[in-house]
Amino acid sequence: MIHQILKLDPQTYQRHSLHVQERDWAETNCYVDVWIELLHAWGLEPIAALPFTLGIDFEGDQWTFFKYQLEDIYELYSLDVQELAIWRPLTCHVEEQLSLGRPLLVELDSFYLPDTAGSAYQMEHVKTTVAIVEIDVENERLGYFHGQGYYHLHGDDFANVFQLRGEKNPAILPPYCEIVKRRSAAPLQGAELLNASLSLLKRHLSRLPEQNPFTKFRARFESDLTWLVNEPLAMFHQYSFATLRQFGACYEIAGRYLQWLQSQGIDDLETPLTSVLWLANSAKTMQFQLARAMARKKPIDLAPIDQMAAHWETATDHLKAKFLS
């Protein structure tokens, strides 16, 4: 039996504009990208729930792993997200929840996800979040959102991603899983959606880091470089993902949020928009510089991080003055 919430064809699926526009960072992170496409496929505007992107911080050894806030999703779209306890085979849970009209956001192994060909598929075991909206256990087919689009997997990939063949490995723990329940209240649209989004913006601006995160990052980055330049390329990718890519991708979609506000008639946003997009672009540049520095075993100029700190101050001061005063 096929359990299906959305009838989609990977070949004809139209991605959200966030995933088709030219960007410095083509992908954000697995959780944000999945929500963008799931909301979009339901006919909802995912950009309205992006104010959280302005509140990220440097967390000591990494930047905030930015994620859609579940309370925001509930307020804007009447979607109730709850953790699902895995006490049966995962396929049983997927079938039951989809039959109730609930997508599942679940961590799977990219080694068995064909859409990651060229990066992780059949190459590296990496956990990632997907949103499942279709399953056919008998014919071993799965329909899921991941990254920038919608995909199917079949056959051996299906069996392996759900560990259906051979003995169960007790060292592999059940994945973290969430279900998405649509409440009876209608999702907000039009002016109501904009006003609610602006309320979220005020909430997240009131929770901004108390200290400039780039000041903290500069000190830690300078310290990390003493050992990082002697590490292999694999460490560069891990370090960059946790630092430069996190804040770069986050501030880029923060810029898309400010552009959306402009399209809705909100003015006086050009200054913070310029600053957050500058942060996104500068993170990309610094990532290239760090890769070269590690290859050549040479130091890197840290002055751009001081400029990042100044742009962060400019953007946040402007937004607080406009929306919180």
Per residue in 26-42, pLDDT (tens digit) is 888 999 999 999 999 99
Cα gap 307→198, rounded to integer Å:
28
Q: How far apart are the first and last CA of the chain?
A: 57
pLDDT of residue 26: 81
Tens-digit pLDDT profile for residues 131-142: 999 999 999 999
Mean pLDDT of the chain, nearest integer: 95
Question: pLDDT band at residue 21, thresholds of 50, 70 and 90?
Answer: confident
User: In Å, what is the CA distance from 205 to each residue of 163, 166, 242, 319?
Assistant: 44, 51, 23, 8
Label the pairing between strands 149-154 and 104-109: unpaired
3-state secondary structure (DSSP) of residue 29? coil
**At residue 243, does pLDDT exceed 80?**
yes
The alpha-carbon radius of gyration of the chain (Å, integer) is 21
**At residue 187, does pLDDT exceed 90?**
yes
pLDDT of residue 288: 93
Cα gap 177→83, rounded to integer Å:
6
In one letter, which amino acid is 143? Answer: G
pLDDT of residue 229: 87
* C-alpha closest to that of 242 among 203, 201, 290, 209: 290
Share of the chain above pLDDT 90, in %: 86
pLDDT of residue 299: 84
Question: pLDDT band at residue 100, thresholds of 50, 70 and 90?
Answer: very high
**At residue 222, does pLDDT exceed 90?**
yes
Share of the chain above pLDDT 70, in %: 100
Question: pLDDT band at residue 295, thresholds of 50, 70 and 90?
Answer: confident
3-state secondary structure (DSSP) of residue 81? strand
**At residue 169, does pLDDT exceed 80?**
no
Asked if residue 144 lies in contact with residue 133, where contact means CB atoms within 8 angstroms, the answer is yes
**At residue 306, does pLDDT exceed 90?**
yes
Q: How many C-beta neighbours within 10 Å does residue 267 have?
A: 8
* C-alpha closest to that of 288 among 304, 276, 272: 304
pLDDT of residue 24: 87
**At residue 185, does pLDDT exceed 90?**
yes
* DSSP codes of every residue in 116-144: GTTTTTTT---EEEEEEEEEETTTTEEEE
Handedness of CA 120, 123, 128, 134 (dihedral sign): positive
Question: Which tokens belong to 112?
Answer: 């068995």
> Mean per-residue pLDDT for 72-90?
97
3-state secondary structure (DSSP) of residue 69? coil
∠ Cα 109 147 37 (to 5°): 125
pLDDT of residue 22: 85
Cα gap 98→79, rounded to integer Å:
15
> Mean per-residue pLDDT for 147-163?
95
* C-alpha closest to that of 95 among 23, 155, 179: 179
* C-alpha closest to that of 127 among 89, 173, 188, 164: 173
pLDDT of residue 296: 86
> Mean per-residue pLDDT for 299-318?
96
pLDDT of residue 180: 98
